[in-house]
């Protein structure tokens, strides 16, 4: 298939543009990888159809989904811990006993780079089949310089194998590795003095993340990591206020970080700090659901202070073994009471913002043409119904890379 991008024309679309549903049927022209024109169908200057490929008529078009928080690269699985949790053992107890994140660290360290790639690929394929065109992937199951870099290389390779934009985040400060037991300051020094510089020098990390929690790292330690990341010009984000209020969101905001993620225990002062700094609140309803959490993120406060809300899968083997982004839209609505419009914006325009990529996640003149055409009547259905297989076309960088009709013809 030729990769050069033809002029593509869709007519009579119901468009969700990343922030809102446009009020009337639209005609969309894509050229050279970008949105080249967008008109109400009744006002489309028909001469512009000359030489364009008629790519479709009708249906719901959204920006390609942007999953701004995932731990997609890992080895093994934690089904055994799932059973333990069903019997009443808590996530934190499992972590304190050396399981949880550390059990995935053991499996990930033992896997070769190619094995890690092979285990992660089907998860990425599942995300793509449900509309993802941009994905953030974190490290954090290596916890040595070599193993963290191995994870980041796998993440980058995934982005080269399939038509998806992958952004990488170094999450070396995810858990204390066993060889540093009793010396978390020593491990943080390794993160700051060796792992971050190595990842930055290799060009393998776009951002740095920390897990700020009483079962992980303190705000003081996270601040040291942020300072090291800033010295290397890397963007910042945090797993913040997931299990308790540590003030990590205000810390991210103070360092002009991209996002504070999870935030179930976020308080009003933290919300104000995020609003002032323009830090995005990334909601992870999959983890909330799987851990059967009861403390809701402060959605009303986030709305009141105008903090942008992103929604992501948090795909990981422990708290959110979910590779089904539109399910996460549903969970954001049913569990957190987001409106379908907020949830969809959360996985398009707001998620792009959480990655520092405002050129993505929008359908507007000049935007990158990563697009999804869905077999639904209205955009809200994407959050309302829990149903795979609704993607009719997937456009990546202005090229149709998946089309349901072609797949069906092929079988
Ligand atoms: O986003 N909270 C920390 N990190 C992940 C879970 C990682 C794991 O349990 O493997 C999260 O919930
Ligand atoms: Fe996470």
Q: Confirm or reject: Cβ of 338 under 6 Å from ligand 1.
A: no
* pLDDT reading at 50 higher than 50: yes
Q: What is the CATH number of domain 65-354?
A: 3.20.20.140
Per residue in 23-42, pLDDT tens? 999 999 999 999 999 999 99
For the chain, give every residue range classified as CATH 2.30.40.10.
Answer: 8-63+363-410
Q: Confirm or reject: Cβ of 101 under 6 Å from ligand 1.
A: yes
Which residue's CA is minimally distant from atom 11 of ligand 1?
Answer: 319
Q: How far, in Å, from the CA of 52 to the mean position of ligand 2?
A: 43
181 exposure class (CB count in 10 Å sphere: 0-12, 13-18, 19+)? exposed
For the chain, give every residue range classified as CATH 3.20.20.140.
Answer: 65-354
Question: Which atom of ligand 1 lies at the shortest distance from residue 91's CA?
Answer: 9
* pLDDT reading at 2 higher than 50: no
Mean pLDDT score, 54-83:
98
Percent of the chain whose predicted confidence (pLDDT) is above 70: 97
Q: Which two tokens stand for residue 376?
A: 């639904």
Question: Which atom of ligand 1 lies at the shortest distance from residue 213's CA?
Answer: 2
Which residue's CA is minimally distant from atom 5 of ligand 1?
Answer: 319
Question: Which atom of ligand 1 lies at the shortest distance from residue 284's CA?
Answer: 1
Q: Which of 91-95, 185-189, 278-282, 335-339 has the lowest mean pLDDT?
A: 91-95
Per residue in 275-290, pLDDT tens? 999 999 999 999 999 9
Question: Which atom of ligand 1 lies at the shortest distance from residue 171's CA?
Answer: 4
Q: Confirm or reject: Cβ of 211 under 6 Å from ligand 1.
A: yes
Q: Confirm or reject: Cβ of 104 under 6 Å from ligand 1.
A: yes
Q: What's the pLDDT score for residue 321?
A: 98
HSE (side-chain half, CA atoms, 13 Å) at 225:
33
Percent of the chain whose predicted confidence (pLDDT) is above 90: 97
Ligand sitting nearest the alpha carbon of 212: 1
Question: Which atom of ligand 1 lies at the shortest distance from residue 100's CA?
Answer: 9
At 410, the pLDDT band (50, 70, 90 cuts) reads: very low
Q: How far, in Å, from the CA of 69 to the mean position of ligand 2?
A: 6
Which residue's CA is minimally distant from atom 12 of ligand 1?
Answer: 319
Q: Confirm or reject: Cβ of 99 under 6 Å from ligand 1.
A: no
* pLDDT reading at 5 higher than 80: no
DSSP β-bridge partners for residue 167: 136
Whole-number average pLDDT of the chain: 96
Q: What's the pLDDT score for residue 6?
A: 85
8-63+363-410: which CATH architecture? Answer: Roll (2.30)
């Amino acid at each position: 298939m030729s990769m050069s991008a033809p002029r593509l024309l869709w007519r009579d679309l119901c468009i969700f543009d990343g922030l809102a549903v446009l009020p009337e049927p639209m005609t969309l022209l894509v050229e050279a990888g970008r949105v080249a024109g967008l008109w109400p169908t009744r006002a489309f200057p028909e001469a512009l159809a000359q030489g364009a490929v008629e790519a479709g008529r009708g249906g719901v078009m959204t920006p390609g989904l942007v999953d701004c928080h995932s731990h997609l690269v890992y080895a093994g699985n934690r089904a055994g811990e799932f059973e333990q949790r069903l019997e009443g053992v808590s996530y934190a107890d499992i972590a304190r006993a050396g399981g949880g994140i550390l059990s995935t660290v053991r499996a990930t360290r033992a896997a070769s780079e190619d094995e890690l790639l092979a285990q992660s690929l089907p998860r990425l394929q599942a995300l793509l089949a449900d509309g993802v065109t941009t994905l953030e992937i974190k490290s954090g199951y290596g916890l040595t310089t070599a193993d963290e870099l191995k994870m980041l290389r796998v993440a980058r390779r995934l982005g080269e194998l399939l038509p998806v934009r992958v952004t990488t985040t170094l999450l070396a400060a995810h858990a204390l590795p066993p060889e540093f037991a009793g010396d978390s300051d020593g491990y943080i020094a390794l993160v700051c003095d060796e792992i971050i510089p190595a990842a930055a020098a290799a060009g393998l990390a776009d951002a740095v993340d920390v897990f700020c929690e009483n079962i992980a790292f303190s705000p003081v330690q996270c601040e040291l990591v942020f300072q090291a990341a800033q010295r290397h010009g890397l963007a910042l984000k945090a797993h913040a206020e997931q299990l308790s209020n540590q003030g990590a969101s205000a810390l991210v905001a103070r360092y002009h970080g991209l996002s504070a993620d999870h935030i179930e225990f976020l308080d009003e002062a933290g919300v104000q700090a995020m609003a002032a700094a323009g830090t995005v609140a990334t909601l992870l309803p999959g983890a909330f659901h799987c851990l059967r959490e009861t403390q809701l993120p402060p959605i009303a406060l986030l709305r009141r202070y105008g903090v942008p809300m992103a929604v992501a899968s948090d795909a990981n083997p422990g708290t959110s073994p979910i590779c089904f982004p539109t399910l996460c839209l549903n969970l954001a609505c049913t569990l957190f009471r987001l409106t379908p419009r907020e949830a969809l914006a959360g996985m398009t325009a707001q998620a792009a913002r959480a990655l520092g990529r405002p050129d993505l996640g929008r359908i507007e003149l000049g935007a990158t043409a990563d697009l999804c055409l869905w077999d639904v009547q209205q955009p809200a259905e994407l959050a309302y119904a829990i149903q795979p297989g609704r993607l009719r076309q997937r456009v990546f960088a202005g090229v149709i890379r998946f089309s349901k009709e072609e797949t069906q013809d092929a079988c």
